[in-house]
A and B are shown apart, each in its own frame.
Chain A
Amino acid sequence: MADYLLALFSGRPRRIRVIEGTLQGKRTITNLFWAQNYGILPYLGADRHLSRQTYDQWLMVQAQAGNLILADQTAQLTEKGLAAQMTWQANHYQPRFGQWTWIANWQRLADRVLLAVQLVSEFAYHNRRYSPLSLPWHEKLAVRNWFLHHDGQIVSQVKTELAAVLTQLAKVDERLSNLFAYRLIGHESVGWSAMEASRQLGIQASDLFWMERDAWLFFAHSLAQSTGALTELVLPLLATTPLTSSAQQTLTAFLGGHSIEEISHARRLRVGTIREHLLQAVILLPGQLPLARLLPSQVEAKLQQQYQGPVAEWRFTPQSTDPGQEFFYFRLFQVKVMQDG
């Protein structure tokens, strides 16, 4: 499974802890900033269970194999590593829908939909004696309440909604629609096991995870854009913004005309936290914040003189008595230059 990690490195040094934190879904500003810089934001939270041990071990193995050079908490691919990366990319499924990674924790969403589909499928066959998918109590309750809230039309509704999404998905890659449909659980069918899915689709076991993640992210995104019984089912699990809810509140207040200090006071949060929220918004929602309000032109002009060359190589050197604010400006300027290309 860990070999997909090759795709996250390049011929230039990348911070190893940023890549690890991105995969684990840690949304610190440092992680988000560098993940955007490396073009790996679609992998945010893609491997939440990745352990330090597994990751470090993989790095060591790659270094020993001559694929990676490890130095100073960074890693870069060697010529051999770049060739290995190309071979990997040519022989494995490449994720397509990672940009929607923030919409939902797809595995949780999948569990809920699988149980709902099972209930509806058994209902379609008038079967009451079956073993429901064993999920946490609150998930079962959510699905049960959703099911009781609907009438007999639920069978055709769910089938039509699923078919609509899978039709669109099949236009991208029919294997994803097949994978999605044959992994569903229902009357006298428990769906393909992972091994069976690999065999039936002729893919390697390690690709299954990425294909399944893509299929469910596509599904989550489609439901977020529509209305219907399945959307009702998963609505509480769908995020409306890539920001954390606290950062979203800060953004709303800022767009409403309030200053950082006012928001800090009203929300009883440190100024530093509010700045982090705004940086999160600048990184994850490019173009939505009026940067001029955050970065005064004279400050920007000064930063332009101070920092030149590739963004990734800038080293922050505080010069004022308020390094917190100075770093905020520095990072904003860095993001701006990076996003402007």
Chain B
Amino acid sequence: MDEAKLTQLLQAHFGFKHFRSGQFETLQAVLAGQDTLAILPTGGGKSLLYQLPAYLLPGTILIISPLISLMQDQADRITRQGDFRAVVLNSAVNNQDQTAILATLSRYRFIFTSPETLGRGPVLGALRQLTISLFVIDEAHCVSEWGPDFRPEYLLLKAAIQALQPRSTLLLTATATKRVTQDILTKVGLPTEQVTIIRQSVNRANLFLAVQELENSLAKQTYLQATLPKLGGPGVIYFSSRKQADAMASWLTTVSDLRVAAYHAGLEAVERFRIQNQFMQNELDVICATSAFGMGIDKNDLRYVIHYHLPASLAAYTQEIGRAGRDGQPALALLLYAPGDESIPELLTQVELPSQTQMERVLTGKISPTLLGEKGPVINFYLHHGYQPQDLPTLFNQQAKRARQRINQMLAYVKNQTCRRKMLLAAFDEGEHEQTPCCDFHQPDWQPSDFGLGKTKPTKVKQRQLDWQKQLNRLFNCQN
């Protein structure tokens, strides 16, 4: 299909006049029935790549997605648009609902699911009854990173693709080195020569990259208290734990005029809904989040992304900072570091395996995998997919080693004595991009105002005169 026709569809259904770079090429490949891997930067409009084909291809579009909250958000967005029906199948859907959904699966054009749910017999069985026009793997880097993420079910996608025989497969990610790209394709069973690879630079030219080394947590807190008001907003601060996100949100509320909320997977669905919507409507200045935040929120005007803790990898970091400045306007990616910060992600790489005897007893069904502790399900998965108990220590050690390498790479970014952008791009096999402003190596005395941040002053929180009757009248459009 030619670009003019596709652009017409883009404008009619999505309201955009032009494709972002990489979008048209990806769509062209997908519509031609080619298996495609699109590596487009965060904010590059990846969901459009499987939404638009629905207007041109018959059949079901199946999307494999890693996060439950992300799936629901994407499905809601499609439903809200009004042209197609979308449904979510994952562990949050109870058995009764799942049975009802499976019985009516053909009514939905978009089906969102997780690798774990897809691996279940009834789900795959029901999907086999449908014509899958497009098999989408969102956040496809998870296929390669399945080890550290402990999502071994990603390995089953190869078999699922073979079983469902989709017209074509579309793999989407924001970050993948050449090695990771090859690894993804091998693991999903697609021969490299048959796959169209669309690769855009991971560079986000409008982001200023900076690291602030501080003495300890207290110093980080003080620094945030002083810095956040200068940044304007809206922005996101990432934490590695829910507890700390909550604590910081409460603290910032008491020590500043900023409108702050915590956001993480531990929130009840209603609270998450409220915070997402308030943030979208600029009723909040700062979100203190864990990595659960962001993937489903399409907010273009984030002016900063701050990391309070050290992310586990440069890939994760690049993904998360990519949520800032999607509107192309200047934005800040700031990482706070205190000595010893690496111990948190390092701790997560350590896995204590149960004894060989215990694993053998699980393998022979004598004891339940739940008795193997937190990692029981993962160990059980390996044991039932061709691994012997004696293979697992080596496998887990290799994974831990790779995870530590990734942390070291992240530390190298913190301690980097050259251009941060250059280092970040090199990690993704990309060459230099010279630009101004760039990072704190070139501009060590940077100020938020240097790149236009802080122009929007946070709105002061108003204490309302409370009147529940008036609130009811307003909700129900009544005069009295």
Contact = CB atoms under 8 A, between A and B. Distances in A.
Contacts of B273: 131, 133-134, 185, 190
Contact of B269 (A120, A133, A159, A170): A133
Nearest to B101: A137
Interface string A170-189: 10001001101110111101
B461 interface: yes
B472 A190 contact: no
Contacts of A133: 269-270, 273
B433 interface: no
Given A134-B269, A178-B468, 4 more contacts: A137-B97, A159-B475, A181-B468, A185-B274
A189 B474 contact: yes
Interface stretch (A74-82, A193-201, A311-319): A193-201
B249 interface: yes
Contacts of B80: 129-131
A177 B466 CA distance: 10
Contact of A117 (B77, B473, B475): B475
A238 interface: no
B430 interface: no
A166 B80 CA distance: 32
A162 interface: yes
Given A131-B76, A133-B273, A184-B475, A170 B93 contact: no
B222 interface: no
B78 to A, nearest CB: 11
B202 interface: no
B93 A137 contact: yes
Contacts of A129: 80, 82
A173 B281 CA distance: 31
A189 B97 contact: no
B436 interface: no
7 contacts: A124-B476, A125-B477, A134-B273, A137-B100, A166-B468, A186-B474, A190-B281
Interface string A104-132: 00010011001001001100110001111
Nearest to B478: A159
A91 to B, nearest CB: 16
Nearest to A137: B97
Contacts of B468: 166, 170, 174, 177-178, 180-182
Contacts of A341: none
Contacts of A135: 269
B472 A166 contact: yes
A236 interface: no
Interface in B261-313: 261-262, 268-271, 273-275, 277-278, 281, 284
Interface in A249-296: none
Interface of A: 107, 110-111, 114, 117, 120-121, 124-125, 129-138, 155-156, 158-159, 162-163, 166, 170, 174, 177-178, 180-182, 184-187, 189-196, 199-201, 205
B475 A189 contact: yes
A61 to B, nearest CB: 15
Given A114-B270, A129-B80, A190 B97 contact: no
Q: At the interface, is chain B mostly helix, strand, loop or mixed?
A: helix
A145 to B, nearest CB: 13
A190 B282 CA distance: 13
A107 B477 contact: no
B92 to A, nearest CB: 8
Nearest to B82: A129
Contacts of B221: none
Nearest to A184: B475
B287 to A, nearest CB: 11
A190 B471 contact: no
A193 B275 contact: yes
B270 A121 contact: no
Nearest to B87: A137
Contacts of A185: 270, 273-274
B108 to A, nearest CB: 12
A186 B475 contact: yes
B203 interface: no
Nearest to A159: B476
Contact of B261 (A111, A125, A159, A193): A193
Contacts of B250: 195, 205
B417 interface: no
Nearest to B283: A190
B72 interface: yes
Nearest to A128: B82
Contacts of B249: 195
Interface string B448-462: 000000000000010
Contact of A111 (B101, B269, B474): B269
Nearest to B260: A195
A170 B284 CA distance: 29
A124 B476 CA distance: 6
B464 interface: yes
Contact of B253 (A170, A174, A187, A195): A195
B471 to A, nearest CB: 4
B213 to A, nearest CB: 30
A236 B472 CA distance: 25
B357 interface: no
Interface string B53-92: 0000000000000000000110011001010000000001
A138 B468 CA distance: 30
B260 A134 contact: no
A51 B475 CA distance: 38
A234 B271 CA distance: 21
Contacts of B275: 193
Nearest to A170: B468
Nearest to A204: B250
B463 interface: yes
Given A137-B97, A137-B100, A166-B472, A193 B278 contact: yes
Given A190-B277, A190-B278, A195 B261 contact: yes
